[in-house]
Amino acid sequence: MKVPERPSRLRAARNRLGKVQFSVAVGMTLVWMLLFNGFQLRPESLGLLVLGFLVAVVIMLLFPMPPIDPGFRFRPIALVRMVAYILAKMVVASFSVIRQIFTSGEVHSSVMAVKLRTQSDLMLVCTAIASSIIPGTVIVEVGRDEWILYVHVLGADDEESIEQSRLDILELERQIVLALGTGKDVAALAGPAPTGEESP
Q: What is the pLDDT of residue 198?
A: 44
Total number of domains in the chain:
2
Q: Last residue of some domain: 70, 89, 107?
A: 70
Q: Do both 185 and 92 map to the same domain?
A: yes
Q: Is the pLDDT of residue 199 over 50?
A: no
**pLDDT per position as a tens digit, 79-127:** 999 999 999 999 999 898 888 878 766 777 889 999 999 998 889 989 9
Q: Do both 84 and 53 map to the same domain?
A: no
Check if the beta carbon of residue 95 is closer than 8 Å to that of residue 140.
Answer: no
Q: Do both 62 and 135 map to the same domain?
A: no
Check if the beta carbon of residue 127 is closer than 8 Å to that of residue 169.
Answer: yes
Q: Do both 126 and 50 map to the same domain?
A: no
- Mapped onto helix, strand or coil, the DSSP state of residue 66 is coil
Q: Do both 78 and 139 map to the same domain?
A: yes
Q: Do both 152 and 196 map to the same domain?
A: yes
Q: What residues make up the domain containing 49?
A: 1-70
